[in-house]
Amino acid sequence: MRKLIIFLVAIIALSCSSDKQYRENIEEFKKAELFNTSMKKLSDVIVHDIFSPPVASRIYAYPSIAAYEALIHDYPDYVSLSGQLTDFTAPPKPDQGVEYSFPLSSFHAFYKVGKALIFSEDKMDAYQESFYQDFLDKGMPQDIFDRSIAYGDQVAEHILDWADKDNYKQTRTFPRYTILKDDYAWKPTPPDYMDGIEPHWNKIRPFVIDSATQFVPEPPTPFDMDEKSQFYTELIEVYETGNGLDDEQKEIASFWDCNPYVSHHRGHAMFATKKITPGGHWIGITAIASRKADLDLMQTVETYTRVSIALADAFISCWDEKWRSILIRPETVINEYLDEEWVPFLQTPPFPEYTSGHSVISTAAAMTLTDILGESFQFADTTENEYGLPTREFDSFLEASQEAAISRLYGGIHYMPAITNGVAQGKEVGAFVIENLATQKPAVAKND
Amino acid sequence: MNRTLLFSALAILAFSCSQKETWFQMMNASESGIDFENSLTESDDFNILDYLYFYNGGGVSIGDINNDGLADIFLSGNQVSNKLYLNEGNLKFRDITESAGVSGKSNWHTGSSMADVNSDGYLDIYVCTVVGLKGLRGYNELYINNGDNTFTEAAQEYGLDFEVFGSSAAFFDFDLDGDLDLYLLNHAVHTQESFGHADVREKRDDQTGDRLLRNDNGRFVDISEEAGIYGGANGYGLGVSILDFNHDRYPDIYISNDFHEDDYFYENNGDGTFTESIKKYFSHTSRFSMGVDAADINHDGWSDILTLDMLPDKEEVLKRSAGDEDYDIQRLKVERFGYHYQYSRNMLQVNQGDFFNEVALLSGVAATDWSWSVLIEDFDNDSHQDVFISNGIPRRPNDLDYIKFVSSDQIKNKINSTKLVDQQALAMMPSGQARNFLFKGSGDYVFEDRSNQITPYDPTFSNAMATGDLDNDGDLDLVVNNINSAASVYVNQTGGHHLRVRLNGEAENTYGIGSKVFVYCDGKTQYKELFTSRGFQGSSEPILHFGLDQATEVDSVRIVWPNGYSKLITGVPAEQLLVVDTSGWKPLPYQKKKTEGYFEKVPDNLGLDFVHEEDSYIDFHRQNLMPYMLSNRGPATVVADFNGDDLEDVFFAGAKFSPTAIFEQQGSGFVQFPLRMSMEDSVDEAIDGVAADFSNNGEIDLLVVNGGGDFFGESDALVNKLYQQGENGFEQVSFPKTYENSSTIAISDFDQDGDVDVFIGSQSFTGDFGNLPDSYLYENDGGEFRLSQTFEQLGMVTGAIWSDFDADGWNDLIIVGEWMKPRFFRNDAGTLNEVNLMNSDISGLWQMIIQFDVDQDGDGDYVLGNWGLNSKFVADTDHPLKMYYDDFDDNGSTETILAAEKDGEYYPLETFDELAKQMVHLRKKYNRYQDFAGQTVEQIFEKTLSDSEVLEVNELRSGVLINDNGSFTFEPFDIEQQFAPILAGLSADFDADGTDELLLAGNFFGIKPFMGRLGAYPGALLDNGKFTPANQLGLNLANRSVRHLNILDHNEHRYLLVTVHNDSLQIYKINR
């Protein structure tokens, strides 16, 4: 009998100490850095699996939204995105009267959705498992743990059901682009002469914008090889800029290359250098800015969510125009008419020229970050360090996005109108998303 | 029929031979004394990424350098010194390199060749080098034989001390002036990242361009430019084969080029110049062309060509290696950049005189992995040519996991910062160690893999090869130069009857290089030409070898010397080295074989200037996994007297968006008829048409059926159209509407009510390939058609005929199509009932059916056109070709997955990337290509496979349904009729002998690059049970996709009208 009592006391004490430890460590579970790291893991797999820029933007958006929707239950000032994003209904609510760790639910929902969208799931498993274990080690009671995971699953499944209906699956079997013989029309480019990427991306359901065609830019300069024509002038600008690049311009072009798959041929040997996508670069900037601004977990998740949604809609809008105008790349025209041996400083990515994706999406992302963190936000962009590129310093997000835009001229892969009109297109998408997507209750937002 | 019998008899014979016995026994270095090993040392700054041909290996030459009757061996080394081994008899060799002075002066040696350059009767040795790359120094070396087992290097004196990127050298007398000239094969070392236009080849690059060197009194002079030899920066020359391919006496040159550059076929003009003619003679070539050899494999006296590539034979390697190009990229290269069609596999090009038929897939020699050298010889002395192929590469740089994943994870930073890849990264490329291949020939196109008769059968990295009779036992032995292991000496164990011929030539060509020898024995011709530089980077013994099977004496041997003089020797005993000199030679009128056909091409086509131009629609862009296109099945051709003037007129349907045309026959020829009304509509793509007086009003009406594989849903362009002649010409009248892709019409008054009724076959639903459409029988009711019978889900119909197969006075219906068996519908007094009259169940990819009394027994046999055996489709009764049809990824659109049997298992034909493009979920299941490679179709698709529908093909051969008192037995045609799909047939008395012959034609190009081009069928005329190739009758139908054959009567002459898909039509006058 005594033994039993002692045993019971011991159990109670143990559980008390566990609970106590959990309470003491509660901030440990809400560290924003855990989310930054998780997002980085997602980026790494996107690079490894070689997702194209538009597809990558979709892969950033849905897991972010899942994380956001699971986390807001700890933050009463935040509102669900249901009803704000196209066809997005309210996720299941957590049960009343029982305790959750919503940060854990949020991470779990993020991983579950993220892993569903990428291929190499095992590459995300290790980190996920290690911090789950860390949560348990730091005293998270098993019931709270299990319940939170279960809730994360519920939210994730809700998001995945919704994602499943965005036409992504259907577009996999939509017709490929048949190369048009017309002079103006895009042709596959060296060295791999890859198929045009995602000719039906405009059929993907957008998040905030009404449709892919909501912000159609003005048409590109008509193809015309008359030496007095506007097109010819713009072509020569690309050619001559490329021939006279200074070191700074080369650095800028390389820094913003963001080509997920640059192919190299050495005889029968081929290999690829892989980098993050343009969207991935802005996810990286989001991480840098969130850290610098010392955002808490909720603010961090909110920021990623807003940026990734703006990116995704910007890609839809841009790709709609690319496959409407189907404009030929400078490399193809220069090789055909001016200089057979000319090679652009950057490898030409495999899709039509107009408008510049980097210009559109960078502007939309920069506007979103400016809206959240302010206009004069200085930061050192180290995103590309791991790909062997230097750090570049910026005084604002828009300064960075403008540099990203002009880098495409230096890279020899875009004419100027794709850049200027691309920036304008990105502004419109960015402004519309900012205006039409609310994450915080109005009063709070004003106080902020 | 006889050939079929012969063929199967041979197959049985071959099969019954024990396959376990040793054909080639490898000798150990300790026994032979040949201890040469081409050891390669990679370093951080010199490896395959710095020099793309780092693994091409050294050279090897066999020849008797001291004229003691024993063949000696020279082996060149890349980083190690060369070796010369003197044959001391009994397969013992002595290394005399040092005393001979041939160890080499350059840093990197490649191909070698032996030839008597200074015509003193002793073989000299020429060694190619790579100079100027990565600090490699030296020059091409010429070792002049002093006649005492020593050599003096004298390249400079002869003008042959080139500092280039050399592959190999071939000595031959190109201008037939009596001395030996030289073709020097060099290779470019930098792959450009873009193709550039093909005319890059016209700009000469001195370091990498090939050279032709004319021997001017012992001094070699570079005449490449004036002779028309290309030497561009895109010339990756790896193989050279020199023979008089076109039998005009002057030797021609075939050059294998790696990568995107076309192979070159230089026709010798006989005036010191060459004309590059690859596109004229070849439908397509190997893509990464490597070694090449040529010999007459089918005993017709014309030399055939085998070029090597790197298509893996094993699934585990195949599916993880970069494969064929995408359809669009290939089109871009052909149409925009001016290259020829090239596919990544070995090509066996059968010489027809005017063109070459490529049959490697049918022959079984298409896939031998990373192959370097090929030698075609009769290795087992059975009188048929066999094939030996060397194989293997230390690292596979085209490994897809390496290309896509390794670089990012392991060497990303290194590449970015230094543009170099280190040892560790190189080590990530998988090894391509592989076994060599040995194929036994049958004299009849088909080769049987006997590689396991090489003992020991171990994987190696084998490059150059040479052959010769090292032990003078009358069969050919082989020496192979290996990377990182001792050179292989393969001693032939077969023995057998043989005749070897050595030619003692005139003054400056002591070995008679370029001579032709015909051996006539047992009613068979064997034909060889003496050129020693063959295969890859090697040269073989300058003796011609003939296996004689059972014969102990040869009827006669004809020798034709390069100058055209000839000598015939009769009654030559076997088992000897026949040494022939020029005494008693006589001039021989030597002429190209002429085709004496009675079909004569009419240059102006009698005014029928219709050109069928296919539209740009690509079916694979909508359904990536379709096995072949449906959109290119037109055009329809209809010959009829439309205007009632008793002269035949012709109707042609255009492709989608191209107008139709009617040509009216007039006295002078045909004149295009202005079209009016509804027929101006150019949207439709008519696949078949028929003219008849459907309305019984005395005027000819026209019914066309539409397809095209592009229009979908209830598109009017899919509706079949009936036109009647009214005041304003043809006017569309009502006809029942259907929306399948229709394919064929067959008409008959099946209900015997005095008007013409119609069967219309359907082939497919656009966007839903694999779903079987209905076909329809329409009954004519006073010019109005009403549906009489629906053949539900009949299949992918391509052809149908009405024929009274049970001879009851009522026309019955036979229907054929793809993925189905012939279907017989008996007409029971106006009602059609399906009956099974087949003795076997033959599901084919049937393309057409035509009635023809093949066995001349008076009843109707039915000839069936099928896909043929010369493609990547393989099928037989035990192992049918399978096509699974379902919505595998559950996204609302269906897919088809093709799987063929290999070693007892079924594997998908398509690559992982092609499958995953359509079914993205596969990328989750397989993160790496190596996980996917070797997976069976069941392992890949698991349960979804068993839930899907399966269509099967168990017969790919064209043949005939022999009518045996109302039941039918399928007899396949001989192998020459299986070279490509047969799409058209016409029965007529072409030669005016009072009985009908059957003319067959075909070829089909609507397939992806991994399948190639099915253009090897030249057509044939079946007469008295015997086929005559159509090219021998004057018809030029090879490498063209023939859709219809019609007879036209014009001005009291008969003409053959040939309708060709996506090309001009052809008219031939029938001169009988």
Residues A121 and A161 in one domain: yes
Q: Which amino acid is at B58?
A: G
User: A-chain residues within 8 Å CB-CB of B917?
Assistant: 172
Contacts of B892 in chain A (CB under 8 A): 170
Domain boundary among A151, A168, A185: A168
Return the residue of A nearest to B53 by Cα.
Answer: A267
Between CA B761 and CA B633 the distance in angstroms is: 13
Query: Would residue A6 count as lying in a domain?
Result: no
User: Which residues of chain A lie closer than 8 angstroms to B49, CB-CB?
Assistant: 266, 269
Contacts of A120 in chain B (CB under 8 A): 927
Number of domain units in chain A: 2
For residue A434, give how far its alpha carbon lies from the nearest alpha carbon of chain B (Å).
33
pLDDT tens digits, one per residue of A166-191:
999 999 989 999 999 999 999 999 99
| Cβ pair A48:B405 closer than 8 A | yes
- Find the closest chain A residue to B428 by CA distance: A271
Angle (CA) B35-B40-B43 rounded to 5° is 155
CA distance B894 to B886: 5
Establish if A21 belongs to a structural domain: no
How do B60-63 and B538-539 pair as beta strands?
A: parallel
Task: Report the alpha-carbon distance of residue B422 to residue B403 in Å, rounded.
Answer: 15
For residue B333, give Cα distances in angstroms to A188, A190, A193, B38, B191: 11, 12, 10, 37, 16
Q: Tell me, what's the pLDDT at B327?
A: 92
- Looking at CA atoms only, how far is residue A272 from chain B in angstroms? 6
The answer to whether the Cβ–Cβ distance between A271 and B415 falls below 8 Å is yes
My answer on whether A387 and A271 are in the same domain is: yes
Residues B468-494: tens digit of each pLDDT: 999 999 999 999 999 999 999 999 999
Query: What pLDDT was estimated at residue A200?
Result: 97
User: Do A141 and A258 belong together in one domain?
Assistant: no
| C-alpha–C-alpha distance, residues B813 and B823, integer Å | 8
Q: Give pLDDT, residue B234.
A: 87
Domain boundary at A124, A147, A168, which? A168
**Do A207 and A101 belong to one domain?**
no
Q: CATH number for the domain including A143?
A: 1.20.144
Residue B351's closest CA among B486, B441, B245? B245
Beta-carbon separation of A177 and B196 below 8 A: no
d(CA B96, CA B90): 17
Residues of B in contact with A177 (CB under 8 A): 621
Q: Given A178, A195, A270, which is nearest B326 (Cβ)?
A: A195
Best of B130, B321, B328, B370 to disrupt the A interface by mutation (most A CBs within 10 Å)? Answer: B328
Same domain as A186, residue A57: no
Query: Which pairs from B528-532 meet CB under 8 Å and 24+ separation?
Result: B528/B295, B528/B296, B529/B243, B529/B244, B529/B251, B529/B303, B530/B503, B531/B170, B531/B172, B531/B241, B531/B242, B531/B243, B531/B251, B532/B63, B532/B113, B532/B114, B532/B115, B532/B170, B532/B171
B412 and chain A: CB distance < 8 Å anywhere? Answer: yes
Contacting B residues, span 50-89, partner chain A, CB-CB under 8 Å: 50, 52-53
B213 contacts B159 by C-beta, under 8 angstroms: yes
Confidence (pLDDT) at A5: 53
A400: β partners:
none
Point out the residue among A47, A173, A271 whose CB comes nearest to the CB of B403: A271
Asked if residue A19 belongs to a domain, the reply is no
Q: Which helix (H) or strand (E) holds B99?
A: helix B97-100
CB atoms within 10 A of CB A36: 20
pLDDT digits (tens, 9 = 90+) for A327-364: 999 999 999 999 988 999 999 999 999 999 999 999 99
CB contact under 8 A, A178 and B415: no
Substitution target from A44, A173, A270, A337 for chain B, most B beta carbons within 10 A:
A173
* A139 and A93 housed in the same domain: yes
Residues of B in contact with A48 (CB under 8 A): 405, 408-409
What's the confidence (pLDDT) of residue B595?
Answer: 63
**Quick one: A257 and A350 in the same domain?**
yes
Q: What is the pLDDT of residue B194?
A: 74
Q: Which of B402, B416, B917 sits opposite A273 (nearest CB)?
A: B416
Do A251 and A385 fall within a single domain? yes
CB within 8 Å of chain A, chain B residues 915-934: 917-920, 923-924, 927
Substitution target from B194, B410, B626, B887 for chain A, most A beta carbons within 10 A: B194
Contact A270 B397 (CB under 8 A): yes
Note whether residue A14 is domain-resident. no
What was the pLDDT predicted at A448?
Answer: 42
Are A61 and A187 part of one and the same domain? no
Asked if B116 contacts B124 with a C-beta cutoff of 8 angstroms, the reply is: yes
- A272–B331 CB contact, under 8 Å: no
From the list B193, B618, B624, the residue facing A191 with the nearest CB is B193
> B742: exposed, middle or buried (C-beta count within 10 Å: 0-12, 13-18, 19+)?
buried
Q: How far apart are CA B682 and CA B4, in angstroms?
A: 46
Please give the residue that has the higher pLDDT: either B529 or A131. B529
Query: Considering the domain boundaries, does residue A445 fall inside one?
Result: no
Instruction: Tokens for A222, please give them.
Output: 């008509």
Cβ A266–B402 below 8 Å, yes or no?
A: no
Interface of A with B in 245-284 (CB under 8 A): 264-274
Examine the domain organization and report whether A284 and A410 are in the same domain: yes
pLDDT at residue B40, as a whole number: 96
**Domain co-membership, A238 together with A371:** yes
Partner A contacted by B432 (CB < 8 A)? no
Contact with chain B for residue A2, Cβ under 8 A:
no
* Contact assignment for B406 to A50 by CB distance below 8 Å: no
In a domain, A443, yes or no: no
| Residues A153 and A240 placed together within one structural domain of the fold | no
Does A444 map to a domain? Answer: no
Range of the domain at A164: 28-168
Dist CA B804 CA B859 (whole Å): 10
Weakest mean pLDDT among A124-133, A262-271, B482-491, B765-774: A262-271
Instruction: Give the residues of chain B that fall short of pLDDT 50.
Output: 1-19, 416-419, 677
If you measure CA to CA, which chain A residue comes closest to B416? Answer: A388
How confident is the model at residue B343, as a pLDDT? Answer: 97
What is the pLDDT, as a whole number, of residue A265?
81
Asked if the structure places residue A13 within a domain, the reply is no
Q: Which residues in chain A are contacts of B398 at CB distance < 8 A?
A: 268-270
Q: B13: which DSSP letter?
A: H
pLDDT in tens, B178-232: 999 999 999 998 766 677 889 989 999 988 999 999 999 999 999 999 999 999 9
Tell me the shortest Cα–Cα distance from B397 to chain A, in angstroms.
4
Residue of A47, A177, A190 with shortest CB distance to B194 = A190
Of B336, B415, B923, nearest to A273 by CB-CB distance is B415
Contact B197 A340 (CB under 8 A): yes
- Residue A431 in this model has a pLDDT that exceeds 70: yes
pLDDT for position B678:
52
- CATH number reported for the structural domain that contains residue A374 in this entry: 1.10.606.20
Q: What residue has token string 């030899």?
A: B229
Q: What is the pLDDT of residue B1?
A: 40
**Structure-block tokens of residue B46:** 């010199």
pTM to 2 decimal places: 0.94
- From A168, A192, A213, give the residue that closes a domain: A168
A337 interfaces chain B, CB cutoff of 8 Å: no
SS3 A131: helix
